[in-house]
Amino acid sequence: MRRTPHRRAVATSALVAATAMLAVGVQAGTGTAAAPPPGTPHAAPAAGALPAKLSPSQRAELIREAGATTAQTAQRLNLGAKEKLVVKDVSKDVDGTTHTRYERTYDGLPVLGGDLVVHENKAGAVKGITKSVQAQIKVTGTTAKIAPAIAETKAVKSAQAQGSKQTEAATAPHKVIWAADGKPVLAYETVVGGLQDDGTPNQLHVITDATTGAKIFEYQGIENGVGHSEYSGQVTIGTSGSAPSFTLTDTTRGNHKTYNLNHGSSGTGSLFTNSTDEWGDGTATNVQTAAVDAAYGAQETWDYYKNVHGRTGIKGDGVGAYSRVHYGNSYVNAFWDDSCFCMTYGDGAGNKAPLTALDVAGHEMSHGVTAATAGLNYSGESGGLNEGTSDIFGTAVEFYANNPADPGDYLIGEKIDINGDGTPLRYMDKPSKDGMSADYWSSTVGNKDVHYSSGVANHFFYLLAEGSGAKDINGVHYDSPTYDNQPVPGIGRANAEKVWFKALSQYMSANTNYAAARTATLSAAADLFGQGSATYNTVANTWAAVNVGSRVPDGGAVTVTNPGSQTSTVGQAASLQIKASSGTTGSLSYAATGLPAGLSIDANSGLISGTPTTAGSSSVKVTVTDAAKKTGAADFSWTVNAAGGSNVFESNVKVSIPDAGAAVTSPITVSRSGNAPSALKVTVDIVHPYRGDLVVHLISPDGTAYLLKNYSPFDSAANVKATYTVNASAKAASGTWKLRAQDVYAGDSGYINGWKLTF
């Protein structure tokens, strides 16, 4: 019996919080989507703006040269006398343009949030400077008014408040200049070690004001031969040695090694060895199988970055990371740790489902690429961009590998089935299908967990690569919406990858938010395709499609906002206001075809109104004409249901909810024409002695998840007996709906007693 409220991460969220998932030349894994219409921007990028393929020694020489002139560069940039530059990275374009990323110090102290990138042409002339903060770095003094011990105590308490049951101060607090908020202040940075509440290593960075003792900011540093793999079939992997002693050491990729932790949680464990050069058997019970998947994921990620973006290794220095498998016991996570430059995989629930899928590997190791380039802070909107970047490049690695056993898709973690119901962790075409992620930017999106605020970046990338609307790619159906209901055409996945990588490596910085990410990708698109080109404009319009910035005007065309599918009932009054705009001054006129009997449109206002008289479905087309006789149109369906039909569908079948186990579902089959209503009522009756343990979703027939109830560690009341309202108007009513419930904390079990849908 539990006597006190507990704090525990949701099983799926714990994985999401750690794995979060997340070519120049012929692009692997071509999809089956229909060819774009004439005029769709698919222009090739300017060859000179593509990254040059630097060898590790060439990159090292560029860094050495930049490091030798930091004083002169600081003077050219008019930095203060106490400011110094430290070279972090240098990238180079084919045309000779260099992009040198610097970190700053002030009076010998690191400046957090003071990073900048200097862009120089082949002749050495400065083309531009990208700064994370514009303010001059200056503080009144570098003597702290509070003791380091106070900062350490506050940092440990911050970690404990996040549910960490085992904390330790990994580093003594050290003084820094915190500039990320715009106004530089003297602060302490403390890194709290130990373990997070789910067993993931803890590297919580806490920034404390050295004058007042107030906490300023915090972020998590842990982001989240022949081989027979579990997820990718039979693969060729890099190994070393000869009979009877082979090792999983890939000498062709920076000496990447794969180790067996054997359920430990520290050190490197033991290097995998074998008497033959054939590894694993494709099952989780064979300890080598997870190692095969990990080694294969590392090699495909290495090859992707090298062959597509000219980057040799995670840091570009030719040094391979290493991988550790069989971490912990029943650990449902995988994570990248930049401090050890290593990738770590748990074995999943019951040690039966290692988290070594290809897109997981690409996702996690891409955290290392982000750390080595923009260094996006793992909190707020920059944290969402950090996670989104890993989802983007994890997906890119999966497409690049072109493996028939795991074809490329825009689903994150679909192979590992962490939810236990066949659903992926995240959907890039419509992130909200997971019940948590954001499809579009809002002023509160930065308050979400970074694995859910990443939805904005994921949705942007999918739309930029593939465009909006319905399509099928490698056997998966997608139907991506836009915030303004206007279509975007996409520029092709290969071009979208190039835009995002160039933006990340040359124009983003630690504090980049979504508005700044738009600026960064437009700068990248201008370099690659030309400012004002069709591709450049598509990048801008795609950001508008996820509610970041505005669309590029296109000469006064008429724009009609698509209202989406409509549902009404015979004998009940209905109304719908059509919204439209035009760049031409003057009035608009409205016309419609296919309206249900009893409805009509006002030609001057665009209001559709009336009382439907006949049940059935129809295809409606609204056409709007402006004063210059230009037109725009919107097509949508309108379903009229018969009066008096059954509105309630119910299940009274009891379904047991296992204690801290996999999610269970209870189905209801609905036979009803048209779409579900915008106020669908979901009445839930769940018996459970500690309802805070439960996460409850409604699953639509197409798999979209609507969160009804999240877990709450301090809600110790019994049972869930409530009616929730869901806007499901975009979904067809007919089909099998499911109530999904999961107990995410050990101690109690319960059951679904029944539930119903009221349409």
- Reduced to 3 states (helix: H, G, I; strand: E, B; else coil), residue 307 is helix
Active-site pick, 309, 326, 451, 688? 451
Do 417 and 353 form a contact (C-beta atoms < 8 A)? yes
Q: Is the peptide bond before 37 cis (omega within 30 degrees of 0)?
A: no
Please state, in angstroms and rounded to a whole number, the distance separating the CA atoms of residues 89 and 570. Answer: 66
Separation of alpha carbons 678 and 565, rounded Å: 11
| Nearest one of 329, 376, 318 to 352, comparing CA atoms | 329
| Nearest to 13, CA basis, from 747, 523, 697, 582 | 697
Pure H helices in 579-705 = none
Give per-residue burial for 659-675: e unless 16+ CB within 10 Å, then b.
ebbbbbbbebebebbbb
- Identity of the residue numbered 9: A
Q: What element of type H or E holds 71?
A: helix 70-76
How many other C-beta atoms can be found within 10 angstroms of the C-beta atom of residue 734?
15
Unique residue bearing structure tokens 């990410």? 517
- Rounded to an integer, what distance in angstroms lies between the CA atom of residue 208 and that of residue 217? 7
The token pair that represents 39 in the structure block: 């005029």
Cα–Cα dist 22/363, whole Å = 4
d(CA 129, CA 100): 10
Angle at which helices 380-401 and 455-466 cross, to 10°: 40
What does the chain come to in residues?
Answer: 759
Element (H, E) at 161: helix 148-161
Closest CA to 390 of 404, 407, 378: 378
Query: Where are the alpha helices (H) located in 239-357, listed in sequence order?
Result: 287-309
Q: Which DSSP state fits 34?
A: P
Q: Which residue has the tokens 């437009």?
A: 522
> What's the one-letter identity of residue 487?
P
Cα(654)–Cα(754) distance, integer angstroms: 6
Catalytic residue, from 103, 189, 300, 364: name it: 364
3-class DSSP state of 416: coil
Q: Which of 651, 683, 653, 685 lies closest to 670 in space, CA to CA?
A: 651
Whether residue 644 contacts residue 741, with contact meaning beta carbons closer than 8 Å, is answered with no
CA distance 384 to 406: 26
Q: How is 540-604 classified by DSSP, letter by letter?
A: HHHHHHTTSS-PPP-SS-EEE-----EEEETTS-EEEE--EEESS-S--EEEEESPPTTEEE-TT
Which secondary-structure segment (H or E) carries 707? strand 705-709
Give the span between the Cα atoms of 60 and 187, in whole angstroms: 33
Catalytic annotation present for 414: no
Looking at residue 484, what DSSP letter applies?
T
Question: Is 451 tagged catalytic?
Answer: yes
**What are the tokens at 523?**
């700068």
Residue 360: closest CA among 388, 338, 390 = 390
Q: Which residues contact 142 (CB under 8 A, 6 or more apart)?
A: 107, 109, 175, 186
Cα separation, 577 vs 631, whole angstroms: 18
Rg (CA), the chain: 27
Token readout for 247 is: 């090792």
Q: If you search the block for the tokens 């999610």, which residue do you land on?
A: 663
**Cα–Cα distances in angstroms (integers) from residue 447 to residues 157, 371, 381, 392, 452, in the given order:** 20, 22, 8, 21, 10
Q: Which residues are catalytic?
A: 364, 451
